[in-house]
């Protein structure tokens, strides 16, 4: 996600410039036909444009609300993971008699976080991170899951034989939790933990399964396509009809305006149409970018940073001093 205070206006215009190019062409064509070629019937009653604009803004508002709801749900799911991870570290430290056994359980939890964040970065057909405008902005930051392989990351936390089991699983994060459950069962059989501790640790694993499902739900199910297409269609129709409505309204001003704009007011339909249409298309583009909070875009929930923070917290519990860096000095922190 963006780590600074806000996007600069120039950044936002640059991000949406491709829409602006199209809008300039869409607005110029009818004005050119009307003024230069004399096709005077090429107008639209302003009431029709206003009605369509009202419908478009309602749909845009609905989309913004729903997509932000997805983003907020993703934040809640991962903050719950942070809370339960800290609890897991505390229980492993206090309930497991052998410090080395406790360390293994905590490090296997790091492997679960790693497998889960890699799963969240897997591309989906409906995600937009590879679109030209988003791909262009992605050059200003890196996605850690694209820079290193899952195998290399897992090797830092669990033995090679466990890495092999995780990598062949269809749901790698769930496989790690399964190994975690087998490990605490083995610890119970060896007397490393008592039955009460086993029950509490097993319950914590169940909660982690639940939070993983919450994250997978957001990742695996897109913003409803029927609402996405309706919003896009309404906005595009409005962008086409808006200059036709403005032509008729600005034509009325030709008789009352003096100076160099006298008789040329219709040409103002181009910048006015572009400005208003850009507001609608930008709102739609922002909503589209917000709808997928794990795709690796600049507006993502920073799951990699959260995993690093958890790792630092739990390693501090173990008394370790070689801790991962939290601040990479990047404008965007994922």
For 37, counting Cβ atoms within 10 Å of its Cβ (0-12 exposed, 13-18 middle, 19+ buried), the class is exposed
Domain coordinates of the chain in residue numbers? 9-317
pLDDT of 329 higher than 50: no
Q: Is the pLDDT of residue 49 over 50?
A: yes
**Full-model pTM:** 0.84
At 149, is the secondary structure helix, strand, or coil? coil
Mean pLDDT of 260-265: 70
| pLDDT at 257 > cutoff 90 | no
CA-nearest of 186, 215, 180 to 201 is: 180
Q: What is the percent of the chain where pLDDT is above 90?
A: 43
pLDDT tens sequence across 274-286: 999 999 898 888 8
Q: Whats the size of the chain, residue-wise?
A: 334
Q: Both tokens of residue 109?
A: 């939890």
Of 34, 26, 30, which Cα lies nearest the Cα of 254?
34
Bigger pLDDT: 312 or 253? 312
User: What is the model's pLDDT at position 211?
Assistant: 94
**Three-state secondary structure call for residue 150:** helix
pLDDT of residue 288: 84
Residues whose CB is less than 8 angstroms from the CB of residue 153 and which lie 6 or more positions away in sequence, other chains included: 114, 118
Mean pLDDT score, 212-226? 89
Average pLDDT, integer, range 113-126? 92
Report pLDDT digits (tens) over 142-187: 788 888 899 999 999 999 999 999 999 999 999 999 999 999 999 9
Tell me which residue of 302, 11, 278 sits closest to 136, measured CA to CA.
Answer: 11
Confidence of residue 328 (pLDDT cuts 50, 70, 90): very low
What are residue 2's DSSP bridge partners? 332
pLDDT exceeds cutoff 80 at 262: no
b (16+ CB within 10 A) / e for 50-75: eebbeebbebbeebbebbeebbebbe
């Amino acid at each position: 996600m963006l780590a600074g205070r806000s996007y600069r206006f120039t950044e936002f215009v640059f991000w949406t410039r491709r829409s602006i190019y199209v809008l300039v062409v869409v607005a110029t064509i009818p004005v050119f036909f009307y003024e230069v070629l004399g096709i005077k019937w090429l107008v639209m009653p302003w009431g029709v444009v206003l009605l369509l604009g009202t419908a478009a803004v309602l749909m845009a508002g609905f989309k913004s609300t729903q997509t932000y709801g997805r983003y907020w749900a993703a934040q809640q799911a991962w903050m719950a993971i942070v809370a339960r991870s800290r609890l897991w570290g505390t229980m492993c430290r206090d309930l497991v008699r052998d410090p080395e056994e406790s360390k293994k359980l905590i490090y296997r939890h790091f492997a679960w976080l790693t497998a889960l964040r890699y799963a969240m970065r897997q591309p989906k057909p409906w995600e937009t991170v590879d679109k030209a405008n988003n791909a262009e902005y992605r050059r200003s930051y890196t996605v850690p899951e694209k820079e290193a392989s899952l195998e290399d990351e897992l090797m830092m936390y669990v033995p090679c034989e466990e890495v092999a089991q995780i990598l062949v699983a269809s749901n790698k994060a769930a496989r790690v939790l399964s190994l975690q459950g087998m490990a605490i069962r083995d610890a119970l059989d060896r007397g490393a933990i008592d039955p009460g501790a086993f029950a509490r640790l097993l319950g914590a694993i169940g909660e982690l399964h639940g939070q993983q499902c919450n994250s997978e739900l957001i990742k695996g199910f897109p913003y409803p396509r029927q609402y996405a297409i309706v919003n896009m269609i309404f906005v595009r129709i409005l962008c086409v009809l808006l200059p036709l409505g403005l032509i008729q309204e600005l034509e009325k001003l030709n008789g009352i305006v003096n100076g160099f704009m006298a008789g040329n007011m219709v040409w103002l339909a181009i910048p006015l149409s572009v400005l208003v249409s850009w507001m609608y298309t930008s709102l739609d583009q922002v909503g589209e970018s917000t709808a997928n909070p794990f795709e690796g875009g600049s507006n993502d929930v920073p799951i990699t940073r959260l995993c690093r923070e958890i790792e630092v917290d739990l390693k501090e519990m173990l008394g370790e001093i070689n801790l991962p860096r939290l601040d990479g000095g990047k404008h965007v922190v994922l």
